[in-house]
Structure formats: structure tokens, C-alpha cells
Structure 1
């Protein structure tokens, strides 16, 4: 089958959202992994519904799919990275995170997104992990119920250093409607599983998949070819399970050269594809702009 690729807008942070979509489409991607942030569809802006409708219109016209990402660093608290979370000791803080995730789900519904991806959070010093897990389950239950009501896939991402860090941590959660957001690079960081093996093992629960290069034991998203990821093996595994959703490239540290990295990343992925018998290799020549007249406001 032909895999479908998206690029995460956290790697286009210096572009307006419509310009980022232009860049991603022109490169030949099939979709956008949209990280909600102050500059990219701010979910707390007064006009968030109007903006979501505008972005949905652009995506629909360009036949681009989407995934909603919720990992913006300072969206909820400008003084503390990623805070508050689902495991923050303050109940009002946890409620703010749940409220944000519900808003992300509402946006996902407007955009007809394939999934909304989110993580658990890091328990602060002195917080009992058993108690934090209880807070997490309560929050997840509310998020999953809301997602089911809206017809949106809720996907939890194990994240190195967080309460839900590994795939085993995820597997221990028994909640109906909770899917897995698999970042294949995280498998190299934790050393828990081979990334391709993880694709096969968790195939029935995959809500969305992210791919990038990483070095073993080091949580830094790297351009392809700079780490230890066996990219062809991961793509083959996704092919083998018939994964039809977007495979999202996440290079959050590369916004300063997004004009190069967006296209270069897809070219790399195309060279990793192994066509079936009698099928030609994909065309990797740059495409002309497919978006004449794209509105900028």
C-alpha cells in the first residue's frame, strides 16, 4: 500500500499557519500534524471557531488530512513549560489541561482530524506516583468520553520522562476508546522495544504514528540520517499492518530551516519506500505550487 505522510507544524514555528500549510502541501505531503499554539490556531483565542473553520476550509480544498497535536510548550502557562498537566497536583490545573484537551477534540471535529494526540505529564517532586496515576485515569476518562461523544480518536502518547513513559505503561491502562499515539523515536530513547516491532505489536490500537530520527538513549528529534532509526524497517512494518492513517514527521527543533527540512524529510522517506513488483519508484522531483490564490487571512 502507499503510506500517507504529514509534517508537524511545531517544526514550522516561524511560519504563519497558512504559509506552513502551503510549504507542507507544496512538498507533496498528504496531511498536516497541527500543533495548537499561540501562533498556530490558538485554542483560547476568542475567534477560535472561526479560525478552525478557516483552516478546515484550506485543508479540505487542498485535500490534506490532519492530526491534532497538543504538545505546545507554554500555551497553558507562560511561566512553566508544558504545565499544568493531567498529573499536576493542583486540581484546578488538571481541570485546565482536561479543558484544553476537550477544546482540541472540538477543533479536531471541525477539521475532521484523524486523531488528537496528547501525553500524561511529569509528576513534580514530592507527588506520589500512585496518586498521580489516579488523577491521570480520571482525566483520561473524561477526555475519552468527550472524544467518543464527538466522534474523534483520543490517542495517548508515551513520552520519555513522563508518568506514561513506555508502551508497557500505556498497555496497563484499560480505558475504552483510548488509542495509542506511537512516536517511533521514543522507542530508541527508552530502549524498551525495536520501533518496527512496536508497530506490529500495537497495530490494533494505533491512533496515530510519528516518525523522525533519534539516537539511542537521547530524546532529541533529529533529521533523518542523523540518528539510529531504521526508517525503512518502520515504514515496512507500517505497510505490513496496512496502516492507512497519516505518518507524521516531527522535527520541532528545525523551524529555523523549515524551508529546507519540510521537503528534504519527505524526499528521504520516499527513498526508503520499497515498491512492489512492477511498480516504479516514487517521483521525488520537487512539485510546483499546488495552491494558487491561497488566502492569507
Structure 2
């Protein structure tokens, strides 16, 4: 899959298009002008637990190549492993067999990402279990990540962990803590969610983007309000986007900039169209204010 030589590609997450068949979702995004897709492995979209995963992955690879889309693979499906526990079991589960199920799924996802020619494989830590001391949780997370980093290194796929509000690894400081625990492996990279920067990072959002720049492998984007972890359509939150996009361009990031609206599938096609128009206009505003820094 070819990438932009000097800038990021606009993409949309399939977790915001769960009412559409995957092929229909991919065709929609290409028709709207998106250059990429963030594919969440879930029961309705390239189920990672169903039979013939390699064959089904090959069919998706052929389709995204036909449509000219770059792809990142995301693993944040709510109930793909456990129909009763959101995001369970996690990499922090006290039960080692339960943790092994998550590690196994993520290891399979590394293979899927490699077979798709993905820009990155996204993942996150999970919540600190009740009764588990913080130091124990961080040690357990590092142990769980070790085989994943090894698999990603062997496959040549960036493993892009996302700081998630409410999780053990919740912010950029947590990302760097995990990096240090693992010895700063090259394969361990960062998924940055722009809304999360507004939600809980201490500084302005453009400063957060700049600080994250050296480790970026995947970027998600939506609107959000301070202190409230709710993914909002553009214009419904508090973020001023042109300075954020200018900061992202300045980092040299060349992966996907993927709209992340997982609770809006009921209006997915409409929001995908509106989001593309909004980001295109915001990029034009960013170029007008900082023409030497924002790619065309």
C-alpha cells in the first residue's frame, strides 16, 4: 500500500459504521474521498475469531487495494472476546488464562495487519482491576506486551498503544512509562486520540500533538470537551482544529488521521460525509495560516 510522501491520509473508523457490511463501508469511504480506513476487528467486520481468517483477510486486502485505501487495524471492539464484559478480558486480567486470550487475539491481529499491509496495529491496556496494586498492574502490562512487541517486531508492524481515559495507561505519561518498562523497543509506538488530548492532557491540544510526534504511528480524531470522555462530531466540542492539524503536519506524521465516532453508527454515512467536509475545510484553514507547514 502506498502512502502520502509528505502528509497524512484522512480516514474513518469502521467502529462508527457497524450498521454497514464491511464491503459497503469501504466503498462508502472511497466514494466520499477518504484515503484510508481504520478497521476494527469485530464480529461484523473481519471477525478475528471466525474460521478462515487468512482467506477473509486476503479478500479484504484485495478490496482495499482496489479502492486505493490505506488501512490501520484497530482492536478496540467492545465484546469480541466476552459477550458480557466490555473490553474483557484485558491484558491486565488477574486470571493468566484470560490474559492469554487477549494476547492471543492481539497476536493474530498482528498477522492480519501484516497481511493487509497496515500502517499500524492499535491496542490499549484496559482498566486496572479492582484489588490489583498499581505496581502489580504495570508489571503485568509489561509482561503482556512483551510477546506482542516480539510479534510486531518480527512482522514489521508498528504496535501503536492508545492512552485511553480511565485505563491504566491513560495518558502520554503512561505511554512513556510502558516504553521504559519494556526497554524502549522500536516496534512500540503510539496511537494518539486528539479528543483525549482535550479531555485529560494538561497542555493545549497542539502542544500535546507536538510532544507525541516522535512516537506516532496512528492518530484518531473527533471533538471532545475538557474532563468528559465522550467522542463528539466535529463542532460539538471545544477543539480548535486548524492549529491541531498544523501541529500534526509539522511532526512529519504520514499515517492515517482517522475519525473516531464509535457511538454514532446509526448516522454513520451522514457523519462520514460531514466529517470529511469538516476536516478538508480545517486543513485549508491550517494551510492558510501556516502555508509552509501543512501539506497539500
Distance 1:15 1:128, change over 3 A: same
Deviations 1:191-246, CA, capped at 9 Å, x for gaps = 42322112211211111111100011111100000001121111101111221111
Q: CA deviation at 1:266?
A: 0.6
Per the alignment, residue 269 of structure 1 pairs with 279
Query: How many residue pairs were aligned?
Result: 280
Per the alignment, residue 171 of structure 2 pairs with 166
Q: Is 1:19 aligned to 2:6, yes or no?
A: no
Deviations 1:51-98, CA, capped at 9 Å, x for gaps = 110000001111110000000000010011100111111101111111
Map 1:10-89 → 2, pairs under 5 A: 10-89=15-94
TM-score (norm 1): 0.91
Per the alignment, residue 108 of structure 1 pairs with 113
CA distance in 2: counterparts of 1:232 and 1:109, whole angstroms: 33
CA distance in 2: counterparts of 1:129 and 1:63, whole angstroms: 44
Q: Which has the higher helix share?
A: 2
Q: CA deviation at 1:271?
A: 0.6
Distance 1:172 1:70, change over 3 A: same
Distance 1:188 1:53, change over 3 A: same
CA distance in 2: counterparts of 1:193 and 1:89, whole angstroms: 34
TM-score (norm 2): 0.91
Across the aligned residues of Structure 1 and Structure 2, the Cα RMSD in angstroms comes to 1.6
Map 1:214-233 → 2, pairs under 5 A: 214-233=224-243
CA distance in 1: counterparts of 2:155 and 2:98, whole angstroms: 24
Per the alignment, residue 95 of structure 1 pairs with 100
Distance 1:191 1:199, change over 3 A: closer
Unmatched tracts of structure 2, length 5 or more = 1-5
CA distance in 1: counterparts of 2:146 and 2:241, whole angstroms: 34
Map 1:280-295 → 2, pairs under 5 A: none
Per the alignment, residue 242 of structure 1 pairs with 252
Per the alignment, residue 125 of structure 1 pairs with 130
Q: Is 1:188 aligned to 2:204, yes or no?
A: no
Deviations 1:110-134, CA, capped at 9 Å, x for gaps = 1000000100000221112211111
Q: CA deviation at 1:259?
A: 1.7
State whether residues 201 and 208 of structure 2, in contact with CA within 8 Å, keep that contact through their aligned partners in structure 1. no
Per the alignment, residue 205 of structure 1 pairs with 215
Q: CA deviation at 1:2?
A: 4.7
SS of residue matched to 2:202? coil
Comparing 33-42 and 169-178, the one that deviates more = 169-178
SS of residue matched to 1:198? helix
CA distance in 1: counterparts of 2:271 and 2:125, whole angstroms: 29
Q: CA deviation at 1:187?
A: 1.4
Comparing 99-108 and 183-192, the one that deviates more = 183-192
Unmatched tracts of structure 1, length 5 or more = 283-297
State whether residues 214 and 251 of structure 2, in contact with CA within 8 Å, keep that contact through their aligned partners in structure 1. no
